[in-house]
Amino acid sequence: PQGMHHSTLDLNSQIVCQAQRATDDKPNIVLIMADDLGIGDLGCYGNDTIRTPNIDRLAAEGVKLSQHISAASLCTPSRTAFLTGRYPIRSGMVSDENTRVIHSLSVPAGLPLNETTFAAVAKKQGYSTALIGKWHQGLNSRYRSDHNHHPYNYGFDYFYGMPFSLFTPCWPDPSRDTELAISCRLWICVQLLAVTALTLTFGKLSCWFRVPWFVILLMILFTFLLCCVWYYSYTSGLYWDCILMREEEITEQPMKAERAGSIMMKEAVSFLERHREEPFLLFYSFLHVHVPCPTMENFIGTSKHGLYGDNVQEMDFFVGKLLDAIDNLGLRNHTVIYFTSDHGGQLESRLGHVQLGGWNGIYKGGKGMGGWEGGIHVPGLLRWPGKLPAGKVIEEPTSLMDIFPTVAALTGGTVPQDRVIDGQNLMPLLQGAVQHSEHEFLFHYCGVYLHAARWNPKDSKYTMWKVHYVTPVFQPPGAQACYETKLCECSGEGVRYHDPPLLFDLSRDPSESTPLTGDTEPLYELVIKTVADAVQAHRKTIIPVQLQLGKELNEDRVWLKPCCGVFPFCLYSP
């Protein structure tokens, strides 16, 4: 019969499509990024007191990069470089001020629309793309719902997560439940008072009511004061920046931070299920382990390192959930998985006298420090069963910027030819086709200021030079971080300028504890000159653009505040 004939054709077509998918050279890609995670927080990088078995499994089953470097030591510029494969100074996602990240959702700053992300490259090759988790690349630019800097505009088909970033007001707030319960009803009360005042005014003018004018004026004044007092209470970033969105709709304002991780994992698994039969790219951008480290109750007290350690172990649990979902859907052998952190852990973050930031292992410094290794040395793990060797360790310098050209290579796409791409395709190095990194030089910025540079000589496998031109002044004296300012500065009195510059051989001194001199290192002059020439050549490739994180664009505009209701009554918490 004709119906049976069509059914047989449909079944045969489905089998053929599945067979083609199984042998297709284009793998699925899952990119996992932690927030503020110290490289020393993971078992596979030497930690034996925090349990991270699922992340450690990625290292055992794949390739571990031991010299993986972030392009910046703060969230916004580092993620810009990760997304675009370019130093953030090229796109203007840097600052010459102390504020070096997008500091709220009320600013017009954001990733310029002419920048190309790895999601856009993958989408052009037929991939379904999603970002689940933290964005922190801007949202609105002209009015509160234009979503000019929404992930949609950068190649992501689907978005669920936090357009901003976790910060202290997001969790915990003991008074929030009572405050929300009152505030959700306050808009109705204000409306009733306003309608009553207008009705009385109209009735008075029409001689319908004999109500004294002072009563009406008192009611109007009371309504106005109620609005002002209510709005003033919402100056906290909790209400305007701690929000969750699904696609372009605000789903929680403010968000319940402790449950956000579990919701985002459900969204990720749902995305995998929906797109299991087609190539996909998932960027899973954790809110973990940024302060204030919101953690589910069943993980509180499970580690030896307080709330921070609990949060790391909760993150590892979610990584395990994601890996299990990939395996259960039969996608294991056809999926490239990458895990990293956007930069090093923050040493200055404390809860009382307890450390609330990450541990950067043997490396000096941390988050916010443009040059010291602790701020930019991050984990890098890649797994692709059957394609990448299990248990391999690569000690060549690699960068977060390398993911952009690597994604292009994996998806069959090409990188833009009209701009400088600073990243390198990692696949030849990962698969052993080459033994030496394509990065001879890497440059380390603090905002717009170049603080340091490293040289990996092509003719030497065992030497890695690092030159520091500027280093932060730690406070108080004798400390190893900037505890008084909470974050190290990039210029001015908060830094020390070195002439001649400091020189370290990271292969012999990874902790950067003992600077070399002309007396202790015969190649001192050669190295200083070679790196200086490379810095000069690099600077010639930088085209001046508007600074997105400068004072002009990184200041609050009330009309840009996101709102899920009638502004300023913007509360919704399911």
The residue type found at 533 is D
Q: For residue 9, how many other CB atoms are within 10 A of its CB?
A: 10
- Active-site residue identified among 44, 68, 103, 136: 136
Q: Which two tokens stand for residue 133?
A: 């988790």
Antiparallel, parallel or unpaired: β 244-246 and 28-34: unpaired
**Residue pair 34/341 in contact by the 8 Å Cβ criterion:** yes
CA distances to 259, 388, 402, 435, 474 from 430, rounded to whole Å, are 36, 7, 12, 9, 38
Active-site annotation holds for 136: yes
Local structure of residue 542 (DSSP, 8 states): P
Alpha-carbon torsion angle 241, 244, 247, 250, nearest 10: -80
Q: Which of 465, 467, 474 is nearest to 450 (CA)?
A: 467
**Annotated active-site residue in 44, 68, 75, 482:** 75
Joined together, the tokens standing for residue 168 give 């202290």
What distance in Å separates the CA atoms of residue 186 and residue 410, rounded to the nearest whole number?
A: 53
Q: What is the DSSP string of 69-121?
A: E-S-SSHHHHHHHHHHSS-GGGTT---SSS--S---TTS-----TT---HHHH
Nearest CA to 77 among 86, 68, 69?
86
Provide CB contacts within 8 A for 164, sequence distance 6+: 102, 104, 105, 134, 135, 136, 139, 241, 242, 243
Question: String of b and e for 171-181 (b: at least 16 CB within 10 Å)?
Answer: bebeebeebbe
Query: Coil, strand or helix: which one is 451?
Result: strand
CA distances from 429 to 69, 397, 504 (A): 16, 11, 25
Phi-psi region of 542 (alpha: psi -120 to 50; beta: other; left: phi over 0): beta
490 is catalytic: no
CA 117 to chain centre: 14
Contact 184, 571 (CB under 8 A): yes
Rounded (10°) CA dihedral 266, 270, 271, 272: 100
Whole-number Å distance between alpha carbons of 156 and 131: 6
Q: Using CA atoms, how far apart are residues 454 and 505, in angstroms rounded to an integer?
A: 9
Contacting residues for 41 by C-beta, under 8 A, at least 6 apart: 47, 50, 52, 289, 312, 345, 358, 359
| Strand pairing category for 128-134 and 158-162 | parallel
Active site (catalytic) residues: 75, 136
